[in-house]
């Protein structure tokens, strides 16, 4: 008989959340179209999405949106307005994600936008909460694409040039998670060969490691993300190469004080990607803001392999563990659930079966509830527990 773990929370907002089984995917290709209206360099974009196919028993299906405007900026609004700084021809892109929907995300053809005159000045407003951020437009699905947004900022009081190193396809998995990514760069960045890089170690007298908390984008909501400031760049690079088999290194130049930049990677999951859709995978970014120094930031972004886009799910980072070799191993489970109900509820009850092979005395429970969301109807909570064998 399996043991059962029950988690009970009293919340001001919510509805009873039930785990959802994977749903059959519709193979019919649907399309989302881009429309726009330009007034000088001010452009109003319009998303035209196909009807949703509701998952039975799930909260009401809806679309979330991610736009790229072709000039290094992006938006997560449904119908955004954007002001271009310069005249020219731009390629606008749209990714619409179908939440609680049985079909595949709709495909979208890019739209060419031509700006012939500047009728409005653009103010460079700071938008980043930190100087290096990794985000994504949605969770990865088997044999489909997602977009990773890499944002970086110059916090020095002088212009500088540096590098960004991105690592993916974890060694822990037999097959690659992602195919060769498509990279879109808008500020003169260039790809550099990884075998010719030289790391400056002159400014690392103490080998001190400092830790901090940073952010990641999950369904367009800010969640805690691991981040570490370090000074020993060769060590950080070697550690990343031991964990990941694929790497992209990007060089940037003359970023001005306070300037913010974005670059974008379309990452398509490999057909032979791990089939267990509860697994957690990650990518790692190393940001070197000034090539004259070894100071850098290391940031990991975790993602879950999904069969449908559903804020309510459970995932584990140890699903491929050999059960004959599990002694003293650690499993980390994450449960994410969100209130999409129309009205309040007093109790949310989460239940899961715990196999007898686990040592219940080593169970550790951690919760991550964001108080700011209690004022919203769409309450989102993440529950994490760790099990030790």
Beta strand 132-136 with 145-153 is antiparallel
Higher pLDDT, 382 or 228: 228
Cβ pair 310, 99 in contact under 8 A: yes
Cβ pair 295, 231 in contact under 8 A: yes
pLDDT value of position 3: 46
Higher pLDDT, 379 or 364: 364
Assigned token pair, 205:
């007298």
Confidence band, pLDDT 50/70/90 cuts, at residue 328:
low
Residue 168 CA to residue 134 CA, distance in Å, equals 13
Confidence band, pLDDT 50/70/90 cuts, at residue 150:
very high
Encode burial over 112-141: b for 16+ CB neighbours within 10 A, e otherwise.
Answer: ebebeeeeeeeeeeeeeebbbbbbbbbbbb
pLDDT > 70 fraction of the chain, expressed in percent and rounded:
64
Length of the chain: 389
| SS3 track for 4-15 | EEEEEEECCCCC
Residue 269 CA to residue 233 CA, distance in Å, equals 29
pLDDT value of position 364: 74
Res. 351: pLDDT tops 70 = no
pLDDT value of position 346: 62
SS3 at position 234:
helix
Residue whose C-alpha is closest to residue 94's, from 71, 113, 114, 69:
69
pLDDT in tens, 272-303: 776 655 678 899 999 999 999 999 999 999 88
Angle at 255 between CA 254 and CA 259, to 5 degrees: 155
Cβ pair 292, 225 in contact under 8 A: no
Residue whose C-alpha is closest to residue 243's, from 322, 332, 165, 144:
165
Q: In whole numbers, what is the pLDDT of the chain averaged over residues?
A: 77
pLDDT in tens, 60-80: 899 999 999 999 999 999 999
Which of 45-54, 150-159, 268-277 shows the lowest mean pLDDT across its residues?
Answer: 268-277
pLDDT in tens, 92-123: 999 999 998 988 899 999 999 999 999 999 88
| SS3 track for 75-109 | ECCCCCEEECCCCEEEEEEEEEEEECECECCCECC
Cβ pair 192, 250 in contact under 8 A: yes
SS3 at position 313:
strand
């Amino acid at each position: 008989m399996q043991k059962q773990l029950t988690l009970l929370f009293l919340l001001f907002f919510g509805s009873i959340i039930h785990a959802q089984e994977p749903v059959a995917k519709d193979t019919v290709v649907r399309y989302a179209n881009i429309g726009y209206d330009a007034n000088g360099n001010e452009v109003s974009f319009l998303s035209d999405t196909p009807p949703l196919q509701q998952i039975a028993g799930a909260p009401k299906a809806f679309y979330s949106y991610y736009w790229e405007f072709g000039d290094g900026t992006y938006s997560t609004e449904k119908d955004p307005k954007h002001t271009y700084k310069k005249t020219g021809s731009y390629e606008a892109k749209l990714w619409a994600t179908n939440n609680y929907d049985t079909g595949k995300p709709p495909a979208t053809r890019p739209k060419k936008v031509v700006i012939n005159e500047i009728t409005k000045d653009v103010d460079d407003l700071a938008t980043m909460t930190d100087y290096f951020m990794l985000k994504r437009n949605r969770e990865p699905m088997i044999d489909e694409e997602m977009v990773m947004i890499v944002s970086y900022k110059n916090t020095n009081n002088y212009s500088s040039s540096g590098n960004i190193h991105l690592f993916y396809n974890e060694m822990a998995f037999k097959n690659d998670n992602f195919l060769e990514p498509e990279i879109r760069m808008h500020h003169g960045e260039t790809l550099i060969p990884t075998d010719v890089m030289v790391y400056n170690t002159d400014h690392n007298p103490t080998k001190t490691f400092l830790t901090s908390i940073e952010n990641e984008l999950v369904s367009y909501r800010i969640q805690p993300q691991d981040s570490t400031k370090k000074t020993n760049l060769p060590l950080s690079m070697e550690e990343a190469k031991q964990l990941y088999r694929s790497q992209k290194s990007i060089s940037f130049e003359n970023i001005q004080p306070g300037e913010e930049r974005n670059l974008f990677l379309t990452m398509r999951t490999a057909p032979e990607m791990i089939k267990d859709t509860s697994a957690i995978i990650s990518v790692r970014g190393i940001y070197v803001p000034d090539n004259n120094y070894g100071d850098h930031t290391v940031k990991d972004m975790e993602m879950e392999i999904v069969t449908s886009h559903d804020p309510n799910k459970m995932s584990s980072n140890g699903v491929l563990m050999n059960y004959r070799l599990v002694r003293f191993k650690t499993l980390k489970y994450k449960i994410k659930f969100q209130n999409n109900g129309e009205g309040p509820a007093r109790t949310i009850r989460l239940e899961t079966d715990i196999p007898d092979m686990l040592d219940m005395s080593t169970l550790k429970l951690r919760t991550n509830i964001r108080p700011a969301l209690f004022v919203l109807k769409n309450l989102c909570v993440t529950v994490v527990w760790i099990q030790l064998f």
